[in-house]
Chain A
Amino acid sequence: MGTVFSIAADLGDGIEAAVARLHAIDATYSTYRPDSVISRMARGERVDYDAEVAEVLERCAEIEADTEGAFSARPDGRLDPSGWVKGWAIEEVSRLLSAAGSRNHLVVGGGDVQARGGSEAGRSWTVGITDPRHPGRYAAFVSGRDFAVATSGTAERADHIIDPATGRPAAGFASVTLIGERIAYTDAYATAVFAMGPERGLAWVEKRDGYEAYAVLPDGRTVETAGFARHLTG
C-alpha cells in the first residue's frame, strides 16, 4: 500500500523539504513499519517519544472527545493515529511550500486536499469530489481559495472505516465530504462524521463553525449542510 501526494505549486523550491518531511513522518507514525515509534508503542514497548508525537496523540484525544468517540486513535483497539496523521502530513507539505515562498499551491494526498491561495491568473482552485457509486465520475465540484477537502467513503477501499463504537465497518453513507480551512482537522472530522452516520453526522457539522458537509447516500440521494452550496461550482 502507498499514498500518492500530488502537488501543484507556483514554486518548486519547497518540494525537496516536503518530501523529506513526508518520509520522516512515515518513519515515525507508520503502522506498517514494525520499527516506527507508533508500532512500538502499539506493542506496549516503553518508548521515549518527543514533543511532536505527544502533540499528535493530544490532537487525537481532543478530536475523540469533540466527536464523542466517533474518531479514535485506536479504531480497532490498537494504537493507530493515521486518521489524524494523514491530513496533518498534507498540511505539513503545504506549510513547507509556504515557508519556501509559495503563495499558491494545491496538495492532494490520498484523496484529501489542501488548497492555498488560488491557481494561476487569479482563478480559484477547483476540486472534484469522486462519485462513490460510480468511481471515475464526479459527484460534485467545489472551488475556492485557502480551503481543505476530505472525503470518507467506500469508493476505492470498501469498508475501510471502522466505527469505534461497534468495531464494525460504518454504514449509512456512500461517502461524506467535509470542507474546512485546514486538512488535518477536516480529514479527521470527515472520518468521524462517516462513523456517526448521516443524521447525527450532518447535525454535528452544522454546529461547527467553518465546516460544511456534502454526502452521497447508498441510494444515490445527496444531503448537505446549509452552507455547503456556496462552495459548489459547475
Chain B
Amino acid sequence: MQVAVTFNGKKITKIQVVEYPTESGRDREINSYAIPTLNQEAMSAQSANIDGISGATYTTEGYQQSLQSAIDKANA
C-alpha cells in the first residue's frame, strides 16, 4: 500500500502530494498541477463549498482525476 498526502492550508499555497512508493522507499512529489477531468455537473456552485468527500476510495493513480483532488486544488 502506498500512502500519499496532500496538504492545503491557508499559509501554504502550493499543494504538495507525497507518495510512499513501495519500491524506492522514498517520498516523492506528484505533479500537483495536473488539471483533473471533471464533468461540469459535479462542479456545481454547491460543490464549490465542499471541504472533503466521503465514499471515494480512489487509489494514488486515481487521485488526480478525483473530486477530492479538485477540492484540494481549489482550496490551496
Contact = CB atoms under 8 A, between A and B. Distances in A.
A41 B50 CA distance: 41
A134 to B, nearest CB: 9
**B-side interface mostly:** mixed
A31 B66 CA distance: 25
Interface size class of A (residues with CB under 8 A): 35 or more
B67 A136 contact: yes
B40 to A, nearest CB: 10
A158 B67 CA distance: 19
Contacts, number: 168
Most buried by A among B1, B20, B71: B1
Interface in A2-50: 2-12, 15, 18-19, 22-23, 26, 30-33
Nearest to B66: A4
A120 interface: yes
A150 B57 CA distance: 11
A175 interface: yes
Q: Shortest 10 CB-CB distances between A and B: which pairs?
A: A2-B2, A151-B55, A2-B60, A130-B55, A149-B54, A108-B52, A6-B6, A4-B63, A151-B54, A4-B4
B56 A155 contact: yes
B39 A12 contact: no
Interface of B: 1-12, 17-20, 22, 27, 38-39, 41-42, 46-47, 49-63, 66-68, 71-72, 75
Interface string A121-158: 00001111110100111100100000001110101110
A136 B38 contact: yes
Given A10-B10, A141-B46, A156-B62, A30 B1 contact: yes
Contact of B57 (A9, A125, A157): A157
B65 to A, nearest CB: 9
A22 B27 CA distance: 12
Given A4-B59, A7-B8, A128-B47, 18 more contacts: A1-B2, A2-B4, A2-B61, A3-B2, A6-B6, A6-B71, A8-B52, A9-B7, A9-B9, A23-B20, A108-B68, A111-B68, A113-B52, A128-B67, A130-B53, A136-B67, A151-B55, A160-B57
